Structure 1
Amino acid sequence: MSQLSSPTNQPIQGAVYMLGAGITFAVTNLLTPYITYTLGVPSTAVVFWQYVIATVFALPLILRIGFGALKTRHPIAHELRAFLSALGVQFFAFGFASGVPVWQMVALSMTGPFFIIAGAVLVLGEKVTPQRLLATLVGFIGAVLVAGVGTESFSWASILPIIAAALWGTVSVMTKWLAREEAPESLTLYMLVLITPNHFLIGLILGVIVTAFPGVLPGSLANGFDFMPPGGDALWFIVLLGLVTAGAQYFLSLSYKVADATFLQPFDDLKLPINTILAWIVLSQVPSLLFWPGALLIMGASLFILRQETGRSKTGSLQTA
């Protein structure tokens, strides 16, 4: 969900809410690989039902914003923004289903700001500065280290969170473009309302591809999209996943409501150590030696970009799955 800077300023409360969002999103990143990789439920089905359930739990937020906020001059842009966001979630979940560890998934997903820079230059006409170029280069060097490119631990599935980050970066650029005319409430409501139907749409497209080109897609994607909810323990874990996802979005919305996005970004970056520590404890996923310098480069470049952007514009945009 994309958010803009808050008109109010309660930094301590905003930081607490952002930490709450980071912890709840970390729980989703523990549940998703367990449901997909361990229990064997296709990631497409998990994501679809996750967001169906999350939307149900988010109904109070939707009703509080009010459907009057859906009035817009850019319905196609809102739909495309929701579709790309949903597609990013699908790639991210497929990464978990393919066995990519949590620490690698989260670190590589943090390359999003570097794609935002590229999109802002190409689409919004923003200037390329040496500082931006340097930060982007440093960030991608960090991503190469985290992905383990050139080592035995590297797999092509490691590219999936980077694809997700690129899609979410595109969503953020579209959000900045729409924010020139659209209210923050409209941007939030359209994402809440459209995200689940777009997961359904992606499932339909996947089914057509599997039917027309059998054996082309890898892993569980080769089985197409199962619209039936799974049974047994998997169902209850997905219900829990949907509930936690809704809770994370609530925390995120509250944080941006009371504090500026530029202030909150360092607290959002804490999701990397939070996810790494929890995955280490719960899933016994020990990060590689290259993870640590790579993660520091990604986080350092991200924070450097934040400092450069602060003062250029009072409006920022962030997104999460």
Structure 2
Amino acid sequence: MSQNSQSTTSLLPSTSAPVSGAFWMVLAGVAFAGVNTLEQIATTTAGLPAPTAAFLQYLIAFVVVLPWAVRKGLPSLKTRRPALQAIRVILAALGVQFWVAGLAHGVPIGAAIGLVMTSPFFVTLGAGLFLREKVTIERWLAVTVGFVGGLLILDPWSGVFSVASLYPIAAAALWAGASLYQKRLLAEESPESTTAWLLFLLAPINLVLAVPSGLLPHTVEAFWIIAAVGVLTALAQGFLALAYSKADAAYVQPFDHIKLPLNVLAGWLVFGWMPPGQLWIGAALIIGASMYLLWHERR
């Protein structure tokens, strides 16, 4: 092994699979914070339409992943579940469209992230309603508390509430469905395969949705911003797949909550947005309910 490869390996966690999974989940949170901040700049400041931004974001991410996928070898990218891959990607693509539309309509990053954090409760609902899994009283209690937290963040009684505020909720529900399929796929497929298929199939789906608004940015500034978003998206998706492949989802999921303070910090530094008090109360309810749910399931 060369000296460079030894130094690179020393930077990665090597003590245990759970530590490794937590490391990759935290790194994914950092990358997603960069994605969200730059995407809101691209859509609100640089004037890039939301469907165009989503299309270019995942097209560039796929171009970034392609050399890595080829180096891993095409046999490693084969899938035995093409239908499940397609359903997962369709749900993810629609979630992306709602998410980017929310940012483009000026939903503050911190509030949007807080609402998206209701996704685990949609997973519980989906498992009970569509997969016919048994939903215990403890699960229903956690779901109820989590949605109360989301309602506090949404604040529909305020004068600044708009329909666009619901877009992150729609994204959370769609991504919950994609997560159910992803976890099922990772039991049989490699992280390289699930990541590559996601980025490969998102491009044509987002292409169709972006045609009415145009496929190219109108300024050089917008192009470079969305290019950076695409690169960070590829890294974030790879980190996320590695996290779920290294450790059980019930262990690594709590580390996903770091994205809330990271995105709030980014929103404050870049846009000067200070979160209201009810956001932290709602976020505390969501995090507390999800932590209780995970603790109960691990028992």
TM-score of the alignment, normalized to the shorter chain, above 0.5? yes
Question: For residues 53-202 of structure 1, what are the structure 2 equivalents within 5 Å?
Answer: 53-69=60-76, 71-72=78-79, 74-178=81-185, 186-202=193-209
The whole-number CA distance in structure 1 between the counterparts of 2:21 and 2:189 is 23
**Structure richer in helix, relative to its length:** 2
More off after superposition, 285-294 vs 68-77 = 68-77
> Could you report, residue by residue, the CA deviation over 1:89-137 in whole angstroms, capped at 9, with x for unpaired residues?
1110000010100011100011111111111112222102100100000
Which residue pairs with 2:40 in the alignment?
33
More off after superposition, 170-179 vs 144-153 = 170-179
- Residues 1:203 and 2:210 are matched in the alignment: yes
- Residues 1:276 and 2:264 are matched in the alignment: yes
Kindly report the root-mean-square deviation, in angstroms, between the aligned alpha carbons of the 2 structures.
2.2
The whole-number CA distance in structure 1 between the counterparts of 2:187 and 2:61 is 29
The whole-number CA distance in structure 1 between the counterparts of 2:81 and 2:123 is 21
Cα deviation for residue 148 of structure 1 reads: 0.9
Query: Which amino acid in 2 is paired with 1:259?
Result: A
The whole-number CA distance in structure 2 between the counterparts of 1:32 and 1:53 is 13
More off after superposition, 62-71 vs 239-248 = 62-71
Pick one of 240, 247, 255 that aligns with 2:235.
247
Query: Which amino acid in 1 is paired with 2:144?
Result: L
Which residue pairs with 2:8 in the alignment?
none
The percentage of aligned residue pairs carrying the same residue is 44
Cα deviation for residue 71 of structure 1 reads: 4.7
More off after superposition, 234-243 vs 167-176 = 167-176
Does the 8 Å CA contact 2:105/2:164 hold for their aligned counterparts?
yes
> Could you report, residue by residue, the CA deviation over 1:209-229 in whole angstroms, capped at 9, with x for unpaired residues?
xxxxxxxxxxxxxxx321124
> Could you report, residue by residue, the CA deviation over 1:6-35 in whole angstroms, capped at 9, with x for unpaired residues?
xx9433333232222111110111111111
- Relative to the length of structure 2, the TM-score reads 0.87
Does the 8 Å CA contact 1:146/1:295 hold for their aligned counterparts?
yes
Does the 8 Å CA contact 1:35/1:237 hold for their aligned counterparts?
yes
Does the 8 Å CA contact 2:120/2:290 hold for their aligned counterparts?
yes
Q: How many residues are treated as equivalent by the alignment?
A: 285
The whole-number CA distance in structure 2 between the counterparts of 1:236 and 1:136 is 40
Which residue pairs with 1:315 in the alignment?
none
The whole-number CA distance in structure 2 between the counterparts of 1:35 and 1:203 is 15
Evaluate the alpha carbon distance shift between residue 61 and residue 9 of structure 1 in structure 2; reply closer, same or farther with a 3 A threshold: farther
Pick one of 284, 287, 290 that aligns with 1:296.
284
- SS at structure 1 position matched to 2:213: coil
Query: Which amino acid in 1 is paired with 2:103?
Result: F
**Structure 1, gaps ≥5 residues long:** 1-7, 205-223, 312-321
Cα deviation for residue 54 of structure 1 reads: 0.9
More off after superposition, 166-175 vs 67-76 = 67-76
**Structure 2, gaps ≥5 residues long:** 1-14
Does the 8 Å CA contact 1:92/1:161 hold for their aligned counterparts?
yes
